[in-house]
Structure 1
Amino acid sequence: MRPEVQAFIADGPLPDWDASAEEIDRRGKQLTTISRPVTGEEARSLVACFGPDACYGVAWTLLHLIETGPNPVLAAQSAPDADEWQHRLWERAVNGGLIPGV
């Protein structure tokens, strides 16, 4: 796994809407340093980095980064209590014809 991906993962999940603008900008900039495409291992590890909300759009950037890797990232449908971003990844893979829906 590349160092820039490891650094992003080491900082944990994205912050929520009440984080400082500096923290949100820092996390967004971290994502832009990760060249595309990501590997399968990187994509699977990055799935754990979604936070409780969209983080002012940074979560969408993370989702699009994950989708540059080999698809589908998720091998099974997300558990009902999984975060909205895992459900989104699953639904997008189904809607894109990458995996059969259930």
Structure 2
Amino acid sequence: MKRLAFKMKLNPGQIKAYTERHNQLWPELKKLLKDAGVSEYSIFFDQETNTLFAFQKVSGDGGSQDLSDHPIVQKWWAFMADIMETHPDNSPVSKPLSEVFFME
């Protein structure tokens, strides 16, 4: 099991919309993530910087970041594009983070 972390940027004033959309996560997207080996997925918010910090536990070689060609993921990106920083293809601007400490 590997642990992955990355950060994204939320547009100012959009935390309520972001939270509401994730509270109603599409069942087909949740299944896709689980099928890809994502067993835990948490997103935290830093209100001072509008930064989203995401953490996943993933079995296997992939993770959510490897599903970019899937139509469900592309539809989700389009759904979220109006409230966060994205690339021209609607994918979120996401920066991987390196783990510097882990305590079991």
Task: Give the TM-score, by structure 1 length.
Answer: 0.29
Question: Which is richer in helix?
Answer: 1
Task: Give the TM-score, by structure 2 length.
Answer: 0.29
Question: Which is richer in strand?
Answer: 2
